[in-house]
Structure 1
Amino acid sequence: MENFKKNDTFEAEVIDLTHEGQGVVKINRFPFFVDNALPGERIKMRVLKVGKSFGFGRVDEFLSQSEHRISGINLDYLRTGIADFGHLAYSEQLKFKQKQVSELLRKTAGKVEFPVLPVLAAEQTLAYRNKAQVPVQMVDGLLTTGFYRKNSHTLVPVEDFYIQDKALDAIILFIRDECRQMAVQAYDEKSRKGWLRHIVVRRAYHTGEVMVTLVVTNKKAPVPIKVLVNKLAAQFSNLKSVQLNINKGTGSFILGKEFVVLYGQDFISDTMLDKTFQISAPAFYQVNTAQAEKLYQTAYDFAQLLPTDVVIDAYSGIGTIGLGMADRVAKVYGMEVIASAVENAQHNAQLNHIENAHYEVGTAETIMPKWLAEGISPDLIFVDPPRKGLDESFIESATEANPRAIIYISCNPATFARDVVRFEAQGYQLEKVQPVDLFPQTHHVETVALFTRKK
């Protein structure tokens, strides 16, 4: 390591991007990661921080800029990670995401010549998110909504969230302004005083139905909360649900376990691939509905569904994947850890007059071996795990069940590449990978992959 010091400045060329969208600069072969810097640009870089094997820098001046740079973007979107690719032309974002998946497969799974298909692009690249989870803090004595600066709990005030449905922004600002007038105190992590922690808003893409969840420290509101609820209902005609969520914890998780309905019902309804779904507050539902429809359709196409197929839908959520194909197969079995999501899935099956779907509460790792012991023999297994990927014991159970194909939907290319190695060790080979862009303007990418038994 060179003897770099904070505030040293260097002229350098940006040679690459990290997976989080930071420019990579090398000074005497020592790498620095720099926000708001794109490959091909020459910059004057100031050293911010130096570690053992890499450092962080910032752009003091652009000596030349990339032809793919989007100018005029609010830099708060980069600083908070709301849109950490927002300064890069959309066509280049797609190329980078394809390259990211390919490189991780090459490095982790040794897939040198593996063909990762071009990313399925989004038609709507701004204002697409159907869900907002916005932290609240007192800033200079004023209740403020915004987003945390990357790797911190410092709130950056934001009014236009750029990638969120504009209706969500309007509801958040309305709640913020009403709370200011009522002198509601935001929760303070240091003193552990205050009441309001987060504002969570969902708006169904096809039906427009709205759910508001106020995450608070306790049930007893310090203000006449009914007044706020009545004003919300008068202002937003599609409001179907207002709930309190009680989170007394000190950790960084957003939702607590307990919900209290203040207005309407405890769900909203939407449609996806011509099926109707009820969505509860804690349930997982893809935040980009139009792209999720492409994602699921790709998964069905990969599976080549047959009317005789028995399908296991692991990590089934509210049933979107399993119920979307139930009328094309013989039987669907789904599992999910969130009990209210399983209730949603069971209810959604009834709503859509589906009688061949069965859902249970529990982890994929425990339910899968139980079903196999009961003699359930799947032809296809669909998995859509969280960012940490699949548990090794689940991969063993899934491959032991000997399905003709396993369809893996991943939101994290790194854990997906790791799981490719595990599947191959159990006799299942990776046939094809289709990235889908569910999160334009950000570094995130979803992939659909097909595994088949080795011949």
Structure 2
Amino acid sequence: MSLPVQKNDRITVHIEDLTHDGAGVAKVNGYPLFIVGALPGEMAEVHVLKTLKSYGFAKLIEVIKPSEHRVAPPCHVFDQCGGCQVQHLSYEGQLLWKQQMVKNAMTRIGKLPDVPVLPVKGMDNPWRYRNKSQIPFGLQDGRVVGGFYQTRSHEIADTDICIIQTEEADDILRELKKELGNLGIMPYDEKSHQGMLRHVVVRKGRATGEIMVVLITKKKKFKEKDEAVAAIKRILPQVTSIVQNVNEEKTNVIFGDKTITLWGKDVIEDLIGDVRFEISARSFYQVNPEQTEVLYQQALDYAQLTGGETVIDAYCGIGTISLFLAKQAKQVLGVEIVPQAIEDAKRNAEINGFTNTYFEAGPAEVVIPNWYKEGKTADVLVVDPPRKGCDEALLQTILEQKPKRVVYVSCNPGTLARDLRILEDGGYVTQEVQPVDMFPQTTHCEAVAWLELKK
């Protein structure tokens, strides 16, 4: 069967949707074409680049009829860098599209067309929101470059500024590029496994202003260590922690296992609401603390706690949601598969004076049934799984144990919809879903779902 388009065709198409990575989607006699840079509602002339059996790719040649939400992207490396995908879509347009994306997932994947999906809770200022930046450095034509990886590659888009991260991260990016040559520190090269400096990570506490700079190096010993510390203190006099992380492996994973404090504190602190957290170089901590507070408050609202409930927090991480819940619950039990995260959770509970929390390391689908056998049952169960969604065994545990209310915090509308369908088939009713925009200028969208056990 011949395809409706062939390679090198130039055609006019109508853009119907965006993919999860921000490419426009047009259909020619039902055959999808993916077009980077095109927006829903637009008429565009495109050049077909590649055709496969069930879909193809085309290049945007000209926008004939632009979307009312099309804007000029303010970042000068937007077309190269893979960090943002939708800067060419107005923020109002981004929020509308993200709401529709969640609705589509509910309908197409979850077969839940009647579940109310509320308007997305966005930001007043959708820029400079990231409290953590991971900056790769390298060499291009003998010149030190730094910035962010280009789309689907490990080539660096060289830049001195990123308008979704902090000004302090920009200062490090810009000035350290100048300093590396003077210091004699060679950037790491993935292909040859040569060089010393792999990445620089900058973390900032939004509420406290504390700043950590992490030098990720190929080896523990490097003779320019003292000079590097002095340079960072010169660039950022307000820095509170300078840390080295050692990654000797041939890998594109950023962090290694060994972390050494070079100067200042071992951790920085931040507040979400009135709950204080210690953040180490490798701690998981949401990168948009302003919207994290919105997200967790939504989870707390859906939990509807009166002070007498026992809550189980599956995938509890370092206890961020757990401690929010503990303010209004009788008891919160948190489980997380990463032992270090559980140690962080215990420490964070101690820092904040919580005595009604209990944390245990292990797979949620193993630990929670053991708790039930010991008589530790939940009135409310909260899940905040990774992008792949809940483990199937955990979903079965929920259906067997039947907590009266489930609050599902999701970073992937597709797996959220899939899991809601399973819980609905097992006796729950999804009351509503509230999307929250944690990552403006990107295609990612978080959401919180509220489920009640059928009476």
Secondary structure, in 3 states, of the residue corresponding to 1:370?
Answer: helix
Kindly provide the CA deviation profile for residues 389-436 of structure 1, in whole angstroms up to 9, marking residues without a partner as x: 110111122332321111110001111111112222332221210001
Does 1:100 find its partner at 2:95? Answer: no
Deviation string, structure 1 residues 80-127 (Cα, Å, up to 9, x no partner): 332211101111111110111111111111112221011111112011
Counterpart AA for 2:396: E
Residue ranges of structure 1 left out of the alignment (5+ in a row): none
Cα distance in 2, alignment partners of residues 233 and 338 from structure 1: 33
Whether 1:172 and 2:159 are equivalent positions in the alignment is no
Residue 341 of structure 1, CA deviation? 2.6
Q: Which structure 2 residue ranges, 5 or more long, are not aligned?
A: none
**Pairwise CA distance, 1:353:** 1.3
What is the distance in 2 between the residues matched to 1:152 and 1:316?
Answer: 32
Deviation at 1:240, TM superposition (A): 2.1
Code of the aligned partner of 1:203:
K
Partner deviation per Cα, 1:214-256 (whole Å, 9 max, x = no partner): 22222122x4111111221243233222222222333432222
Could you tell me whether the CA contact under 8 Å between 1:282 and 1:341 is conserved in 2?
Answer: no
**Whole-angstrom distance in 2 between the partners of 1:27 and 1:451:** 40
Q: Distance in 1 between matches of 2:76 and 2:365?
A: 42
Does the Cα contact within 8 Å between 1:280 and 1:344 map onto a contact in 2?
no
**Residue in 1 aligned with 2:261?**
261
Assess, with a 3 A threshold, how the Cα gap between structure 1 residues 365 and 136 changes in structure 2: closer, same or farther. Answer: farther
Residue in 1 that maps onto 2:43: 42
1:207 corresponds to 2:204: no
Where in structure 2 are the equivalents of 1:40-439 lying within 5 Å?
40-74=41-75, 76-221=77-222, 223-439=223-439
> Aligned in 2, Cα 1:362/1:226: closer, same or farther, shift over 3 Å?
farther
Rounded Cα–Cα distance in structure 2 between residues aligned with 1:434 and 1:278: 28
Contact 1:268–1:280 (8 Å) recurs in 2: yes
Amino acid aligned to 2:357: A
Q: Are residues 228 and 286 of structure 1, via their aligned partners in 2, closer, same or farther at CA, if it must alter by over 3 Å?
A: same
* SS at 1:211 equivalent: strand
CA contact (8 A) 1:316 1:322 kept: yes
Are the counterparts in 2 of residues 98 and 119 from structure 1 also a CA contact under 8 Å? yes
CA distance in 2, matches of 1:241, 1:188: 26
Amino acid at match of 1:178: E
Structure 1 residues 437 and 381: alpha-carbon distance in aligned structure 2, compared to 1, 3 A threshold: same
Residue aligned with 1:323, SS: helix
Distance 2:418 2:224 in 1: 52
Compared CA separation, residues 417 and 23, structure 1 to 2 (3 A): same
Give TM-score, length-normalised by structure 2.
Answer: 0.94
Contact kept, 8 Å, 2:10 with 2:47, in 1: the verdict is yes
Select between 233-242 and 253-262 the one with higher mean Cα deviation. 233-242
Instruction: Determine if contact 2:309/2:378 at 8 Å carries over to the other structure.
Output: yes
Q: Distance in 2 between matches of 1:348 and 1:177?
A: 38
User: 3-state SS of the aligned residue for 2:293?
Assistant: helix
CA distance in 2, matches of 1:370, 1:246: 38
For the residues of structure 2 that align with 1:216 and 1:361, how far apart are their CA atoms?
Answer: 30
Deviation sequence 1:245-271 (CA, Å, 0-9, x none): 222333432222221211122211011
Q: CA offsets per residue over residues 313-332 of structure 1, 9 Å max, x none?
A: 12222221111231321111
In structure 2, C-alpha distance between the alignment counterparts of 1:72 and 1:149, rounded to whole Å: 16
Question: Which has the larger displacement, 297-306 or 354-363?
Answer: 354-363
How far does the alpha carbon of each residue in 1:336-391 deviate from its partner, in whole angstroms, 9 at most, with x for none? 23333322222221221111112222232332223223221111111111111110
* Aligned residue number for residue 15 of structure 2: 14
Percent identical among aligned pairs is 40
Quick one: structure 1 residues 342 and 198, their matched pair in 2 at CA, closer, same or farther if it must change by over 3 Å?
A: same
Q: Superposition RMSD on alpha carbons, in Å?
A: 1.9
Q: Which residue type is aligned with residue 254 of structure 1?
A: I
Counterpart of 2:300 in structure 1: which amino acid? Y
Q: What amino acid is the match of 2:78?
A: Y
Distance in 2 (alpha carbons) for counterparts of 1:429 and 1:40: 34
Q: Which moved more, 1:324-333 or 1:388-397?
A: 324-333
How far apart in 1 are the matches of 2:48 and 2:184?
42
Counterpart Cα distance in 2 of 1:158 and 1:115? 42
